[in-house]
Amino acid sequence: MKAWAESFYKSNRWQHCRESFMTTKYYLCDRSGEPATVAHHKKRLTAANITQSAISLAWDNLEALCQECHNKEHHRKAARPARYRLDAAGRILPP
């Protein structure tokens, strides 16, 4: 957890919001149907927007996710390693 977000995630407002939201979702992942453990912010929280309730506490910005789907979400945009290619003669071309 980022230092600027720690007090938010430990706040009573967030704890109540998360618990209420996850209860309405029956603690089931919105994507896989597996047991959900994470109330994921669709629009990522930043130090600039974390105090904006319309982003940080709005249910329409939340998604119930299992840990596997949450991990996929945060790693799907990660830079992929460049791949080498071969030219017509079979020589390796740099990425």
Structural domain range at position 56: 3-93
Q: Give pTM, 2 decimals.
A: 0.77
Per-residue confidence of the chain (95 residues) as pLDDT tens digits? 789 999 999 999 999 999 999 999 999 999 999 999 999 999 999 999 999 999 999 999 999 999 999 999 888 755 555 677 778 888 887 76
pLDDT recorded at residue 79: 53
Distance CA 6, CA 31 (A): 27
Q: How many domains does the chain have?
A: 1
CA-CA distance, 28 to 13, in Å (whole number)?
A: 22
